[in-house]
């Protein structure tokens, strides 16, 4: 059963998130303080009230020890201040800690997801991790702010109060101790009996909801056809059906809450009546009787609030479990061998094979090639085209050459005349290789910053070089449409750029950063470009080659292929099961 | 006129007040049980201490037990009753919103955006939640709170006033502070939250290229800084909500203290019986349960109000209670037989009176095809929407009616036949097969497991990009409209299928005598069109796009160098 696997507090959260540890410690401390205050308050009320009740009762003498009463009233005022202070601290620091825990976890999850590489396993793909890291982890806040403190309070206040009651009146303590285990038992019983029904009903509710959304999503289409009026009645009918199904679920879901409430309130009532009846026979003094009366609801208070925040816990725990699911996915271990200079070297593909995800295909399959890299001197450049039908593994090959992906079989090696020992990219220090490579992917990352900052990448570049690069890459026409030209902010919070415009910015950046990144990798640069944009790419590739750089380009069109000094044919092969 | 968006939206919820009253009554009974339990137990213990005959206590003992049992019972019924009210409200709101937006020419263009669609669902839930989380708890708190004050006040009026004052602290001041704190966190944190999301998405989507370019550490630092700003905003809010929590926690003890201070002298003076003193002092311990839900209620009320405001924006500007206004000219509808074809005279099309494309003259006759070409952003889609009457022209005149066939037309989660019947309710199976054959889907249809009865869309059979486009064209052919306005029929298709689809459209227009305007960024297949309008910018920044050239495909090839070059590039073998 799933229930048994769910722990109310994931130990990994305490192990790996420092902010969570200090928060739990603080909350536990405040829990102890609030338990103490509950007890103090009960004693103060009982001691202040009891003598007056006795004195004012028929046959009482109407005289009380006023200083004693005043002392207890002062204690009570202190308890009021103390309770306010504890609640303030819990709210004040609870929220702060919760945001820190979420931020910490988000950072770890995002960093780890990126480290998993371009082909992460199911459950850790960017879209999935993005949902988790933004919306999903937000569910942790109510869990941390509301559920967890109540859970810790239950762990501290409930036993402490029971112990105090035991000291005052063992019969009342016995009643409470007998009732307490009944609460989880009945909740479990109801949960087991109704699990199937409510899940079936929930599925119905979701299906009905999806149908309504489908109709709303199709509204523009219906309107285009002039057929939008009819489905209104259908939306209404679906809503009514959804309400009936939901009410069915709720009737069951609220049952466990009702049982929890019935057991706890009835228990308080039984304790009160029991105390009253024993008072008549002198079985208990008035002061402990009043204290027990005030304390009895506090035994169950935190437990009831845990119950009412239960949904916050399930959402929060689910988010935590998914976050650690990502963090526990092993990332490829980074290599450490230093990488030689790329200029004048050779990239050797040695019988390289990558199994395509979820397809019985090797793409690329058993690919061997020697790619000579440019000399870095003007005229010594190289254009290497990767050619093959779609699905043959060209993009995969790009990831291999970048060292982002490791081949399932074979190896990718960077060889230099000096030192003679070639370095397998799988064992190489990736940062050393990446610092020599400029990669312009299909959808380049831009910003945040001004166009100028993005293109220069923080280096000092003369304006003439920038303008020349802008002319070559077609960035000049993009700049003409931007109000502030080179100083226009782009990326986060800036002007949104289309894919074509982003690509021109990225091309210009790779063009300006000539010397320090001698290898340029272009992935399908013409896929999203119109005919004019393609010419820009051709010009840019020529400019790179003229500067002595090596351009590795996934080529789809003849125009680009015609530029190539070397063509690498990429093929996929179906896997034959032996 | 009331400007509170929740109040304005209320008629659409079709609230039935007797049901609300029932839920409030049940909620009040729940709290009566809670307070009654405390009061009866206090009386019982105080009276018992006077050692009377046990029989005297029996009524109170039964009362305590009854209150203890009744509370859970009433609470269960109240939760069901209030959720029933809320769910009815949400169902009615969803249906009413749908009808108003559908009929009223409300902001359907906004609905084309996916994120907005998703939000509508959430907003409806938020408005519905106001019933369960704010309205009913609020009403219950007022009734039960005043009842408790009366109970204590009967015995000792001044103690009643103290209790009232403390209840006002927890019931009014504390919720007000909580709501203010949550508003400030949401307002100040919204930018930070948005930035955190954007940076997270960027890191995840572009993570691999950031690793290669060496900017990864930089972006991680950016995310950390954004998270720190979010934390600071939360922290500021927590300062206020901390005060709210402190008031809530301290007020109860304060009320007990106040009642003791007033009750003890009264009891010693003989104005208050010992049993009554116990009731006056111990009842407040239970009363504050009345107001515990109110801070959350205040926060919910504010959230629901914001949701209501967003929903109102979707409705026609005349407001939800006014009759729906007609669209500029009735979109869709059965075509007006007298005005076959379509003509645009000096039309400027755009949004909010800002033209995206201007000065377009265009005439398309039955059986002929006009193509709109040009780069993305030249206003091809906007012009088609305007020609279809789905958007009012910024300037100029549209004569005739056309059916807009969107590039992302919706396939409903129902059968293939029902999807085609969206065009016209009375389509027979034979007509459906004929239309599918016309777009070359006969083989595809034969391969479907249940033929025309095969479910499509969400949860149904997957439809590939090319099949989907053909299906949308087939559906358009089944509609009564004689003019079709087809937007990028070949988007996301490979070159060969794209050209085949556009050529098929042209052939269909010629064969069936329909007038067709087709927008396409691929130029090669436009050779079959009767006229091509090339839209583009003349280089003035910020100016709307215009028709930069027009004529047949052959004319443009001959006269416009850019066009010739672009077509030549498309023709290069892949």
Quick one: three-class SS letters along A507-543? HHHHHHCCCCCCEEEECCCCCCCCHHHHHHHHHHHHH
Per-residue pLDDT of chain B (574 residues; tens, 9 = 90+): 567 888 888 888 888 889 999 999 999 999 999 999 999 999 999 999 988 888 888 899 999 999 999 999 999 999 999 989 988 988 888 888 877 777 665 555 555 444 555 566 778 888 888 888 888 999 999 999 999 999 999 999 999 999 999 999 999 999 999 999 888 888 888 888 888 888 888 888 888 888 988 888 888 998 999 999 988 888 888 888 899 999 998 999 999 999 999 999 999 888 899 999 999 999 998 899 888 889 889 988 988 888 888 888 777 655 443 333 334 444 444 444 445 778 888 888 887 777 888 888 888 888 889 998 887 667 888 888 888 887 788 888 888 888 888 877 788 878 888 888 888 888 899 999 988 888 888 888 888 888 888 887 655 566 777 778 888 888 988 888 888 898 887 666 667 777 788 888 888 888 888 889 998 877 888 888 889 998 887 766 667 888 888 888 888 888 888 788 777 767 554 4
Quick one: three-class SS letters along A120-134? CCCCCCHHHHHHHHH
Please report whether residue B81 resides in a domain: yes
pTM above 0.80, yes or no: no
- pLDDT at position A195 is 64
**Cβ contacts (< 8 Å) between A107 and chain B: which residues?**
220, 223-224, 227
One domain, residues B430 and B522? yes
- pLDDT at position B113 is 46
The DSSP output letter for B97 is H
CA angle B39, B74, A206 (to 5 degrees): 145
- pLDDT at position B283 is 92
Q: pLDDT tens across B473-508, in order?
A: 889 888 888 888 988 876 666 677 777 888 888 888
**Quick one: which H or E segment has residue B20?**
helix B17-48
Per-residue pLDDT band for A19 (boundaries 50, 70, 90) equals confident
CB neighbours of A13 closer than 8 A, spacing ≥ 6? A20, A101, A105, A320, A324
CB neighbours of A539 closer than 8 A, spacing ≥ 6? A472, A473
Report the domain count for chain B. Answer: 2
Domain that holds residue B252: 10-183+242-314
One domain, residues B263 and B126? yes
**Quick one: which H or E segment has residue B424?**
none
One domain, residues B107 and B145? yes
Give the one of B76, B88, B412 whose C-beta lies nearest to A218's C-beta: B412
Contact: A91, B244; criterion CB under 8 Å: yes
Give the gap in angstroms from C-alpha A97 to the nearest C-alpha of chain B.
9
**Cβ contacts (< 8 Å) between B216 and chain A: which residues?**
114
One domain, residues B249 and B397? no
**Cβ contacts (< 8 Å) between B58 and chain A: which residues?**
none
For residue A441, pLDDT beyond 70:
yes
| CATH number for the domain harbouring residue B545 | 3.40.50.300
Tokens of A360: 């019985």
Contact: A221, B57; criterion CB under 8 Å: no
Contact: B41, A293; criterion CB under 8 Å: yes
The DSSP output letter for A58 is T
Please report whether residue B192 resides in a domain: no
- pLDDT at position A48 is 93
Q: pLDDT tens across B421-463, in order?
A: 888 888 899 999 988 888 888 888 888 888 888 887 655 566 7
- pLDDT at position B326 is 36
Give the one of A81, A290, A404 whose C-beta lies nearest to B250's C-beta: A81
- pLDDT at position B328 is 41
Please report whether residue B221 resides in a domain: no
Asked if B134 contacts B300 with a C-beta cutoff of 8 angstroms, the reply is: yes
One domain, residues B372 and B284? no
Q: pLDDT tens across A262-295, in order?
A: 988 999 999 999 999 999 888 889 999 999 999 9
Give the gap in angstroms from C-alpha A43 to the nearest C-alpha of chain B.
13
Give the gap in angstroms from C-alpha A312 to the nearest C-alpha of chain B.
14
| CATH number for the domain harbouring residue B33 | 1.20.1560.10
Comparing alpha-carbon positions, the chain B residue that sits nearest to A112 is B204
Residues in chain B: 574
Residues in chain A: 578
Give the gap in angstroms from C-alpha B330 to the nearest C-alpha of chain A.
8
Assign residue B72 a region (left: φ > 0; alpha: ψ between -120 and 50; beta: otherwise).
alpha
**Cβ contacts (< 8 Å) between A58 and chain B: which residues?**
50
Which of A38-47, A189-198, A242-251, B149-158 is the least confident region?
A189-198
Strands (E), B337-439: 342-351, 354-364, 369-373, 395-399, 403-405
One domain, residues B468 and B520? yes
- pLDDT at position A337 is 85
One domain, residues B167 and B307? yes
Please report whether residue B319 resides in a domain: no
One domain, residues B359 and B279? no
CA angle B505, B394, B380 (to 5 degrees): 30
Please name the residue that has the structure tokens 């060889």. A415
- pLDDT at position B460 is 56
Asked if B489 contacts B502 with a C-beta cutoff of 8 angstroms, the reply is: yes
Contact: A265, B108; criterion CB under 8 Å: no
| Phi, psi (deg, nearest 5) at residue B32 | -60, -40
Comparing alpha-carbon positions, the chain A residue that sits nearest to B409 is A221
Q: pLDDT tens across A375-405, in order?
A: 888 888 889 998 887 667 888 899 899 988 8
Which of B258, B283, B314 represents a domain boundary (last residue)?
Answer: B314
One domain, residues B303 and B353? no
Task: Report the percentage of chain B scoring pLDDT > 70.
Answer: 88
Q: pLDDT tens across A549-572, in order?
A: 899 988 767 778 888 899 998 888
Average pLDDT over residues A121-142: 81
- Please, what is the average pLDDT of chain A? 83
Please report whether residue B211 resides in a domain: no
Give the gap in angstroms from C-alpha A221 to the nearest C-alpha of chain B.
6
Where b means 16+ CB within 10 Å and e means fewer, A196-224 reads eebeebeebbeebbebbbbbbbbbbbbbb
One domain, residues B282 and B344? no
One domain, residues B393 and B444? yes
Tokens of B132: 């369960």
Give the one of A210, A231, A258 whose C-beta lies nearest to B72's C-beta: A258
- pLDDT at position A231 is 75
Quick one: three-class SS letters along A441-500? CCCCCCCCEEHHHHHHCCCCCCHHHHHHHHHHHCHHHHHHHCCCHHHCEECCCCECCCHH
Average pLDDT over residues A489-495: 65
Please report whether residue B362 resides in a domain: yes
Q: Is the ipTM of this complex over 0.95?
A: no
Please report whether residue B529 resides in a domain: yes
One domain, residues B94 and B129? yes
Comparing alpha-carbon positions, the chain A residue that sits nearest to B492 is A528
- pLDDT at position B325 is 34
Comparing alpha-carbon positions, the chain A residue that sits nearest to B410 is A218
Please report whether residue B499 resides in a domain: yes
In whole angstroms, how far apart are CA B487 and each of B406, B521, B527?
A: 5, 10, 18
Contact: A254, B209; criterion CB under 8 Å: no
Which of B314, B345, B378 represents a domain boundary (last residue)?
Answer: B314
């Amino acid at each position: 059963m799933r229930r048994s696997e769910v722990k109310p507090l994931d130990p990994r959260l305490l192990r790996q998130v420092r902010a969570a540890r200090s928060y739990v410690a603080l909350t536990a401390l405040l829990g102890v303080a609030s338990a103490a205050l509950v007890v103090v308050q009960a004693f103060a009320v009982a001691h202040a009230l009891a003598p007056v009740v006795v004195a004012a009762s028929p046959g009482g003498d109407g005289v009380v020890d006023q200083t004693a009463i005043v002392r207890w009233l002062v204690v009570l005022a202190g308890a009021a201040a103390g309770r306010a202070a504890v609640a303030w601290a819990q709210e004040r620091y609870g929220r702060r800690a919760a945001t820190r825990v979420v931020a910490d976890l988000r950072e770890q999850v995002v960093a780890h997801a990126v480290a998993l590489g371009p082909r992460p396993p199911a459950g850790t793909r960017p879209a999935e991790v993005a949902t988790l890291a933004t919306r999903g982890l937000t569910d942790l806040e109510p869990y941390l702010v509301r559920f967890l403190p109540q859970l810790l309070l239950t762990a501290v206040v409930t036993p402490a109060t029971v112990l105090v009651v035991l000291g005052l009146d063992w019969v009342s303590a016995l009643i409470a101790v007998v009732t307490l285990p009944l609460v989880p038992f009945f909740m479990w019983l109801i949960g087991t009996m109704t699990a199937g029904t409510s899940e079936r009903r929930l599925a119905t509710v979701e299906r009905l909801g999806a149908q309504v959304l489908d109709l709303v999503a199709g509204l523009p289409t219906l309107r285009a056809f002039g057929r939008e009026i009819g489905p209104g009645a259908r939306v209404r009918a679906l809503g009514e059906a959804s309400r009936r199904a939901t009410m069915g679920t709720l009737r069951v879901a609220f049952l466990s809450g009702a049982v929890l409430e019935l057991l706890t309130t009835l228990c308080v009532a039984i304790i009160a009546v029991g105390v009253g009846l024993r008072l008549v026979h002198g079985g208990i003094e008035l002061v402990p009787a009043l204290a027990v009366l005030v304390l009895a609801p506090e035994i169950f208070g935190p437990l009831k609030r845990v119950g009412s925040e239960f949904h916050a816990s399930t959402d929060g725990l689910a988010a935590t479990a998914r976050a650690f699911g990502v963090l526990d996915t092993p990332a490829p271990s980074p290599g450490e061998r230093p990488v030689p200079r790329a200029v004048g070297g050779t990239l050797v593909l040695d019988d390289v094979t990558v199994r395509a995800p979820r397809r019985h295909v090797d793409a690329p399959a058993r690919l061997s090639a020697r790619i000579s890299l440019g000399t870095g001197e003007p005229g010594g450049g190289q254009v290497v085209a990767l050619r093959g039908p779609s699905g043959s593994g060209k993009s995969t090959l790009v990831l291999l050459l970048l060292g982002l992906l490791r081949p399932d079989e074979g190896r990718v090696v960077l060889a230099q005349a000096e030192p003679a020992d070639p370095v397998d990219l799988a064992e190489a220090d990736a940062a050393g290789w990446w610092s020599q490579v400029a990669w312009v992917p299909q959808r380049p990352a831009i910003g945040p910053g001004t166009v100028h900052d993005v293109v220069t990448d923080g280096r000092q570049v003369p304006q003439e070089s920038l303008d020349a690069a802008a002319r070559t890459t077609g960035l000049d026409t993009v700049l003409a449409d931007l109000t502030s030209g080179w100083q226009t902010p782009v990326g986060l919070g800036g002007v949104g750029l289309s894919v074509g415009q982003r690509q021109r910015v990225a091309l210009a950046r790779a063009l300006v950063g000539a010397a320090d990144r001698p290898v340029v990798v272009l992935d399908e640069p013409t896929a999203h470009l119109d005919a004019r944009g393609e010419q820009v790419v051709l010009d840019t590739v020529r400019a790179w080659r003229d500067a002595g750089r090596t351009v590795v380009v996934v080529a789809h069109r003849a125009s680009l292929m015609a530029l190539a000094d070397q063509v690498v044919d990429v093929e996929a092969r179906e896997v034959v099961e032996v | 006129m009331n400007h509170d968006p929740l109040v304005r939206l209320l008629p659409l919820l079709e609230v039935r007040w007797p049901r609300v009253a029932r839920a409030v009554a049940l909620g009040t009974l729940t709290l009566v049980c809670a307070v009654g339990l405390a009061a009866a137990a206090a009386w019982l213990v105080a009276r018992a201490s006077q050692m009377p005959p046990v029989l005297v206590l029996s009524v109170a003992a039964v009362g305590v037990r009854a209150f203890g049992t009744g509370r859970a019972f009433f609470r269960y019924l109240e939760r069901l009753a209030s959720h029933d009210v809320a769910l009815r409200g949400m169902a009615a709101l969803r249906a009413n919103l749908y009808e108003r937006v559908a009929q009223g020419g409300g902001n359907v263009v906004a609905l084309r955006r996916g994120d907005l669609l998703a939000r509508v669902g959430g907003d409806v839930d938020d408005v519905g939640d106001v019933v369960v989380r704010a309205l009913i708890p609020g009403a219950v708190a007022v009734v039960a709170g005043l009842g408790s004050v009366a109970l204590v006040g009967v015995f000792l009026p001044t103690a009643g006033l103290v209790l009232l004052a403390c209840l006002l602290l927890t019931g009014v001041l504390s919720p007000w502070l909580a709501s203010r704190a949550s508003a400030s966190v949401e307002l100040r944190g919204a930018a930070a939250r948005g930035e955190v999301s954007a940076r997270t998405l960027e890191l995840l989507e572009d993570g691999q290229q950031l690793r290669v370019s060496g900017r990864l550490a930089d972006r991680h630092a950016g995310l950390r800084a954004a998270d720190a700003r979010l934390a600071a905003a939360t922290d500021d809010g927590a300062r206020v909500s901390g005060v709210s929590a402190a008031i809530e926690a301290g007020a109860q003890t304060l009320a007990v203290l106040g009642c003791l201070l007033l009750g003890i002298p009264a009891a010693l003076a003989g104005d208050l019986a010992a049993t009554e003193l116990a009731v006056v002092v111990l009842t407040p311990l239970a009363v504050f349960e009345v107001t515990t839900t109110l801070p959350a209620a205040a926060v919910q009320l504010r959230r629901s109000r914001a949701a209501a405001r967003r929903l109102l924006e979707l409705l026609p500007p005349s407001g939800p209670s006014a009759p729906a206004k007609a669209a500029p000219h009735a979109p869709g509808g059965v075509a007006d037989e007298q005005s076959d074809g379509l003509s645009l005279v000096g039309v400027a099309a755009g949004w909010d009176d800002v033209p995206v494309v201007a000065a377009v003259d265009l005439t398309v006759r039955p059986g002929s095809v006009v193509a709109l070409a040009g780069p993305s952003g030249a206003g091809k889609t906007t012009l088609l929407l305007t020609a279809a009457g789905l958007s009012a022209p910024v300037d100029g005149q549209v004569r005739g009616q056309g059916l807009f066939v969107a590039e992302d037309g919706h396939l409903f989660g129902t059968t293939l036949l029902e999807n085609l019947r969206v065009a016209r309710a009375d389509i027979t199976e034979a007509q459906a097969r004929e239309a599918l054959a016309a777009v070359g889907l006969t083989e595809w249809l034969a391969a479907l497991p249940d033929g025309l009865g095969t479910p499509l869309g969400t949860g149904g059979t997957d439809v590939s990009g090319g099949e989907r486009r053909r299906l949308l064209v087939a559906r358009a052919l089944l509609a009564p409209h004689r003019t079709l306005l087809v937007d990028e029929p070949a988007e996301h298709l490979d070159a060969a299928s794209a050209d085949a689809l556009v050529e098929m459209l042209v052939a269909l227009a010629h064969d069936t005598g329909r007038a067709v305007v087709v927008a396409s960024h691929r130029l090669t297949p436009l050779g079959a069109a009767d006229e091509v309008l090339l839209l583009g910018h003349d280089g003035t920044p910020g100016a709307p796009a215009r028709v930069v050239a027009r004529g047949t495909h052959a004319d443009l090839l001959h006269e416009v160098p850019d066009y010739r070059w672009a077509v030549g590039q498309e023709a290069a073998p892949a």
